[in-house]
Structure 1
Amino acid sequence: MRIRRLTGAEIDVWRRVAETVTPRPGSLLPAAPETAPETLPAPVKAPHPAPPAPVRSYTAASYVAPVSVPKPPPVGLERRYKRRVADGRIPVEAVLDLHGMTQSQAHSALHRFLLGAQRDGARLVIVVTGKGVKERGRWDAAEPGVLRRAVPFWLRDARLREIVVGFEEAALGHGGAGALYVRLRRPSTTL
């Protein structure tokens, strides 16, 4: 791609426009053309020039720090990624088993586990929730276990968005409906 140079007439028009504004410190106008064009009309002056904009100064009291943009909520894993995990081509780096814990124990254990796994550089972990309580000799599909219902809500919590990219039910070889693949963000580096 070739950049074309301004013609003498274009430079003259630009100079006329530039003379009507206050230049920034350190900015230069283009050099004047050797010959002035004869066909350009005279510039039209505005009847009432607009008043200059007031200079805005910031004091410590009026300054508002920029707000950090929250991370998006976790989403499910891509089909191809999940297939590669199930086949063993992407390794699972840590496992947390929540069997036998109360909700409060499981919630704090999950939070500690995810923070530690992210700090250690893990990208994919499994959280085993279990399928629920067995009633009358069969699994009650209508009422899954308390932790199986609660953990997805905890993973969507705004406090874990800095850690969790996405999660989805694990493949049968990794626990099926009683476990979740959890994909973690890279730890943020602050200087």
Structure 2
Amino acid sequence: MTRRRRPLSPEERELWTRVAASARPMRTTPAKSAEAEANPPPKKPHPAPSSFHIGQSARSLTAPHDLVPASEDRLAAQPLRMNRRTHQQMQRGKLKPEGRIDLHGMTVAEAHPELVRFLMNAQSAGKRMVLVITGKGKGKVKDDHGPIPQRIGVLRHQLPHWLGQPPLSNVVLQVAPAHLKHGGGGAFYIYLRRA
């Protein structure tokens, strides 16, 4: 059984026209027509890669395994424990070292006790800044890129470790790479605490 629709009265029609005029559409974009849905625009094909090689973005296997940062990086990262003006003068090579020790040609076993003896005697003598020359290492040996790399300049890389351990950690106030006129990358300024 189908129901017949009754016709709207003039009052209902007038009410409906007022409601329809005050209504705002929910969708601001026009609805897609049935024709547009039936015929979607063609998709653009992906461009083929010009020259792709498997592993092209992988890192080289010959890259060094830097497990420990360089001594210059470690020294630059340490906090400043001395007067800023004196530290700047020291880095610019304007302060004259009051003593120096040259560790060239020594092994690690020979150099460590010599360094401890020298720094302890320098502090007891009232010296404030000394120069420790470690050298840059032999030029014949190249950096080893193996699983356990050996660095050039073993003494240069060991010096910050030695200075951070007792008894030298109580003696040393600040360490900085030396200026070029005092040896550059193969030497270090060591500023000592007062005795």
TM-score by length of 1: 0.52
* Correspondence for 1:99: 104
Distance across 1 between alignment mates of 2:119 and 2:125: 10
Does the aligned pair in 1 maintain the 2:91–2:177 contact within 8 Å?
no
Letter in 1 for 2:135: G
Correspondence 1:133 to 2:138: yes
Unaligned runs of 5+ in 2: 1-77, 146-150
Correspondence 1:170 to 2:175: no
Distance across 2 between alignment mates of 1:78 and 1:186: 14
* Correspondence for 1:81: 86
Correspondence 1:108 to 2:113: yes
Does the aligned pair in 2 maintain the 1:84–1:90 contact within 8 Å?
yes
Correspondence 1:119 to 2:117: no
Which one has a larger percent helix, Structure 1 or Structure 2? 2
SS in structure 1 at match of 2:176: strand
Distance across 1 between alignment mates of 2:188 and 2:87: 11
Among 152, 159, 171, the residue aligned to 2:160: 152
* CA RMSD in angstroms, aligned pairs only: 2.6
Deviates most, 151-160 or 83-92: 83-92
Does the aligned pair in 1 maintain the 2:93–2:182 contact within 8 Å?
no
| Structure with greater Cα Rg | 2
Unaligned runs of 5+ in 1: 1-73
Does the aligned pair in 2 maintain the 1:75–1:167 contact within 8 Å?
no
TM-score by length of 2: 0.51
Aligned residues: 112
Does the aligned pair in 2 maintain the 1:75–1:165 contact within 8 Å?
no
**165 and 141 in structure 1: CA distance in 2 versus 1, 3 angstrom threshold:** farther
**171 and 88 in structure 1: CA distance in 2 versus 1, 3 angstrom threshold:** closer
Distance across 2 between alignment mates of 1:151 and 1:94: 17
* Correspondence for 2:9: none
